[in-house]
Structure 1
Amino acid sequence: MILKKVAIGNRFEAFIEERFQDKTNIIFSDDNNKGKTILMQSIVYSIGYDSIWPVGFNPRLYYFYSNISFEGVDYEFLRHNNSILVLVNNQNYLFNSVAEFKHFLSKDIMKIPYIPKDGQLKISDLSLFYELFFLGQDKRNTSNIIAKSNYNKVDFVNMVFSYQGISTIQFDESIDIEALKLRKIELEDKIKIERKKIQILRKSPQIATFVSSLANNEDFERTKTRLKDLHSSIFELRKHRNREENRRVKLTYLLGELSSLNRNLKEGKVKCSDCSSTNIVFSNDDFEFDVSNKFVRDSIVYSINENIKLKDEVVSELNELIYKEQEEINKLLETPNPEFGNYVLFESEIRNSKEINDSVAFLRSELTEVDNQIKSINNGIELNKVKQEAFLEQIIAEISNLYRVIDPNGTMVVNGLFTKANETFSGSEEQEFYFCKIVALNNILKHNYPIIIDSFREGELSTTKEEKMIEEFIKLNKQVILTSTLKREEYSSDKYSSFEEVNALDFSKLEDSKLLQERHVEDFLQIIDNFPISI
């Protein structure tokens, strides 16, 4: 992934930056309020990040554009509020929400990991995922992620594991799961031994479920648990299917409207009764498309058709899953009824089972408690704790190595990807920790995303440490985008000129708190012209 261009604007003011290179880029100025943070947030906002904007900046008024290369293919992204347009190979794709856009990214462009959330595996939130390589200036907290939403640091750690291909689990260090598993095996063995003493179970399992509380409980618990899982699964599948079908119907209706408009345009002109304009505009919540232009209309129709095909596939798959679950429910509810004569035949065995049933009841009660504890930890996700711990130790070791490079005499102790809530770093230590963490993740995961850090020398970081950081960034041999605010004496000394492998971008001459200018509007509108919209 290589960022080539970023732009922000509307019809009245805009800004464009296209001087990025595939190496270490440092955007600097001799003062704050030059728009560096707006620019950095705009980069990730254009591809789905929940950006944290400076006070006074209203993102709803603007369009956010980026040109990013993925494996040699250029993708152009345009975001307005929650809608995102993607242009690739002269084809447009429209997404009405960040959630829809995320699935497109995951399927066609990026390797976005799945993590356990709310009892099932879900694609990672984009804001969570981008924290692998993006660090904003505001709301930093070494004890947690920055853009929290419904996610937390456990989700981030699980995402790192998943990215590496290691199965994930939400940790609960207060419970020894291995001891629970051993106790479960022990209880199950004891129950098996007791079950063998009940002759009716062996001679007539069908009657046993009617006369033996042990057999009945076992059969009922199996059926109840499975029915509960099936009902819950069907409920969620139906909700998902109905949402997708509702979206498909809306898209089909929209396609019909556009097709009807196409016929009207062929048979005669459609014009506004007030102003007599023949420009016909279709809009979603965030974008407007000039559908009186055949190329634009065909592009939108193609995008809608692709979305309808996707919805059809999803609905069909969900219906098939629902059918299979319903079939299993019907099989479970088919309960055979033994003949009365069989009770007389096995009368002695039935009488002998009562005492054993009572002795098993206590064992089953404890087994249920232990099993529920294990389920609450695993939550349906495969446990792979040994690999996880080893991998986490590898990352922590890399963080510690980088820290010794940056600050050989430092006393900071790193025990994880996050600090404890009551031990957050501040000042230069915070910046050193974030530097070591984001570079270590890059080195260990070997991801192909650029490293983007806003205000990378915050916290009175010494010149020596800053220079070591820049040297480490250069060694990565990939695109790095940093921002820095220099002191007056640093600015006058042409601070970054000594680094041959640094692309230094000076924002000092920009007007304070006025990154967006009218003089960039024409060029910005030329960028927008590549998309089938009107602004």
Structure 2
Amino acid sequence: MITIKQIAFGNSSEAYIQSGFTNGLNIISSSENHVGKTLIMQAMMYALGSAPMFPASFPAEDYVFLIDLEINGNRSLSILRSGNTFIIKEGDTVTPIESVHDFDRYWSNHIFELPRIIKDGKVHIVSTDLFEQMAFMPQAKRNTARIYGGRYKKDDFMEMIYAQAGLVGKTLNDGELTEIKNKKQKLETRKKELSKKSKKLSKMGSALTAISPTADREETDRLIAELEKLGDEITELKKQKNRFLTRKVKNEGVLCQLRSLNNSLDVDSLECLVCGSREIGYRMNGSKFIFDITTSDMRSQIINSLKERISEQENIAKELDLEIREKQTRFNKITDSRNITLEDIFVYREDYISLEDIDKELTLIADELSNVDRIIKTDKQISAKNKVDRKNLKDKIVAKMNKIHRKLGNNDGSPDYSDLFTTEGKPYSGSEATEFLMARMYALVDCLHHQLPILVDSFRAEELSTGREEKMLPLFKDLENQVILTATLKEQEIGKYWGIEWINNIDLSGYTPNKLLSSKYCAEFANEIERFGVKLMQL
């Protein structure tokens, strides 16, 4: 179980620190809007690896974010984030991480394993950004028909839910399977129409006519499209491999410098020619903090972290190299079996430049058909039992959502929920959207037993009635997960949570609107940052 103990964010000029969270139900409240409740919640999610969701007026890139966690009651772990760089501190061990992708890998390997889903025909480890959407509801842009962010879709969210329950794989329901087969039929019809036009316009004049006596335009199109697709894939894989090797070389350079520094400090000392300081710093690219590597202890930790990073980058490069070789072997087999050269391909493309529009559409259709066939094939590979288990899990989650819906007072004849998302054309809005999303969050915890804290910004938004609030809070109080909510209270409601034993009320009343961060926290914030062996850069 992950429990948030403290959140802090700031820079050398201003900062804010909030501690005092309990393992149970916490409500951050105020009598005014815009005092910073939303900033606190967004800072928590950002520090946990999510994509930034801050308002445009808040330049997150100018600040450093620190979150202290307790894991399963026996591990203390802290995360420091600046832009896309992170530092993880557990005990005396400090681990620098240079990208969000690497942070996701660290999370999956060292905190809690992230689910693996099938995306674009490949096994894909979901990001913390998607994973944490099971347990986070922002104040703005609530939408019951889709997830937050642009990289993933709601189908990916559902795949993650199934994977979390051990039901990995891509399956289609009857409606989806019918739809995809209809799409395939339309694509094949369109392909035949274009092929007829192409044959009428084509005059085979290139070296590719010698491939076989029965070679025709359609076969040649397919062949060239396949070779070009393989060529593009090989090029992209080589780019990825080069990126990892470049990062590896840079890290090796830093490692070499640190080792050299170790040797020189054993016999002499380094001193700044400008200020005379003997303090030495190491900064990760793009971050707002600098590691103090004056001590051998910190240098050793950075060196060990770099070694691990270099080893991982080398392994990824090797995996990509194997994939490149496999695709090159396929490319060579096709060209060798038909005695085609790259010159032949070039001539072919020149000969048929006038048919470029038809060729492009045929290539796109071939790609789409390939994708459709892959989806259908993957679907067939899912066992019948897996499909049944998936349906049962989804039905169980929706049933739990409706149970919560009824407990909150669904006696007005409104229909029950039928899915984890509404349709794009009929999303819920206002308090109905809040109820739907709260019911879904509760159901996911109850059915999947995930370990994330529940974070809801402005849970009373859109005039959620007092009666429904009084029914909702005890439900979330009984969860094993930590729950953190925010609320803006009316004047007559101030103090309504005081004295309720099972609610930890963090009251921000009295804070000046839009002035949450201040210089009074700077010294304490700098001390918190120095736990990681780093110092803030001066603005």
TM-score bracket relative to the smaller structure: 0.7 to 0.9
5+ residue gaps in structure 1?
A: 184-208, 338-367
Give matches, 1:492-511, under 5 Å: 494-497=495-498, 499-511=500-512
* Contact 1:116 1:170 (8 Å CA) reproduced: no
How much identity, in percent, do the aligned residues show?
A: 32
1:486 Cα deviation from its structure 2 partner: 0.5
Counterpart in 2 of 1:438? 441
For the residue of structure 1 that corresponds to 2:486, the secondary structure is strand
Counterpart in 1 of 2:298? 296
Q: For each residue in 1:115-171, what CA deviation from the matched residue of structure 2 results, as whole angstroms up to 9, or x when unmatched? A: 33333222223222211001111111122112x122222221222122222222477
Counterpart in 1 of 2:44? 43
Q: 1:231 to 1:114 in 2, by over 3 A?
A: farther
Counterpart in 2 of 1:107? 109
* Contact 2:526 2:535 (8 Å CA) reproduced: no
For the residue of structure 2 that corresponds to 1:313, the secondary structure is helix
State TM-score, norm by structure 2.
Answer: 0.78
For the residue of structure 1 that corresponds to 2:485, the secondary structure is strand
Indicate whether 1:68 and 2:69 are aligned.
Answer: yes
Counterpart in 2 of 1:244? 244
Distance 2:283 2:369 in 1: 54
Counterpart in 2 of 1:255? 255
Counterpart in 1 of 2:268? 268
Which range moved further: 169-178 or 125-134?
169-178
Q: 1:327 to 1:54 in 2, by over 3 A?
A: closer
Q: For each residue in 1:56-92, what CA deviation from the matched residue of structure 2 results, as whole angstroms up to 9, or x when unmatched? A: 2221221100111223221110001111110113111
Structure 2 counterpart of 1:35, which letter? G
Counterpart in 2 of 1:308? 310
Q: For each residue in 1:11-64, what CA deviation from the matched residue of structure 2 results, as whole angstroms up to 9, or x when unmatched? A: 222221221111111111111122111111111111211132134222122110
Q: 1:292 to 1:178 in 2, by over 3 A?
A: closer
Structure 2 counterpart of 1:84, which letter? F
Give matches, 1:359-438, under 5 Å: 372=370, 374-375=372-373, 377-378=375-376, 380=378, 382-383=381-382, 385-410=387-412, 411-438=414-441
Distance 1:99 1:378 in 2: 30
Give matches, 1:23-172, under 5 Å: 23-71=24-72, 72-146=74-148, 148-166=149-167, 167-169=169-171
1:320 Cα deviation from its structure 2 partner: 4.4
Distance 1:170 1:139 in 2: 29
* Contact 2:180 2:372 (8 Å CA) reproduced: no
Count of residues in Structure 1 that have an aligned counterpart in Structure 2: 474
Which range moved further: 150-159 or 299-308?
150-159
State TM-score, norm by structure 1.
Answer: 0.79
Which range moved further: 80-89 or 322-331?
322-331
* Contact 1:37 1:54 (8 Å CA) reproduced: no
Q: For each residue in 1:294-352, what CA deviation from the matched residue of structure 2 results, as whole angstroms up to 9, or x when unmatched? A: 22222211211111122233333444455566667777777699xxxxxxxxxxxxxxx
Distance 1:66 1:161 in 2: 29
1:415 Cα deviation from its structure 2 partner: 2.2
Counterpart in 1 of 2:358? none
1:232 Cα deviation from its structure 2 partner: 7.0
Distance 1:310 1:376 in 2: 31
Distance 1:226 1:437 in 2: 44
Q: 1:521 to 1:47 in 2, by over 3 A?
A: same
* Contact 2:6 2:69 (8 Å CA) reproduced: yes
Indicate whether 1:451 and 2:454 are aligned.
Answer: yes
Counterpart in 2 of 1:360? none
1:515 Cα deviation from its structure 2 partner: 1.4
Give matches, 1:179-198, under 5 Å: none
For the residue of structure 1 that corresponds to 2:243, the secondary structure is helix
Counterpart in 1 of 2:349? none
* Contact 2:397 2:443 (8 Å CA) reproduced: yes
1:238 Cα deviation from its structure 2 partner: 3.8
Indicate whether 1:473 and 2:504 are aligned.
Answer: no
Q: 1:320 to 1:370 in 2, by over 3 A?
A: closer
For the residue of structure 1 that corresponds to 2:394, the secondary structure is helix
Structure 2 counterpart of 1:438, which letter? M
* Contact 1:24 1:480 (8 Å CA) reproduced: yes
1:433 Cα deviation from its structure 2 partner: 0.9
Distance 1:50 1:210 in 2: 54
Q: 1:108 to 1:221 in 2, by over 3 A?
A: farther
For the residue of structure 1 that corresponds to 2:304, the secondary structure is helix
Distance 1:83 1:318 in 2: 24
Q: 1:371 to 1:274 in 2, by over 3 A?
A: closer
For the residue of structure 1 that corresponds to 2:249, the secondary structure is helix
1:95 Cα deviation from its structure 2 partner: 1.4
5+ residue gaps in structure 2?
A: 186-210, 340-365
* Contact 2:4 2:70 (8 Å CA) reproduced: yes
Q: 1:530 to 1:469 in 2, by over 3 A?
A: same
Structure 2 counterpart of 1:421, which letter? E
Which range moved further: 369-378 or 476-485?
369-378
For the residue of structure 2 that corresponds to 1:131, the secondary structure is helix
Which range moved further: 410-419 or 455-464?
410-419
For the residue of structure 2 that corresponds to 1:407, the secondary structure is coil
Q: 1:12 to 1:228 in 2, by over 3 A?
A: closer
Distance 1:179 1:325 in 2: 29
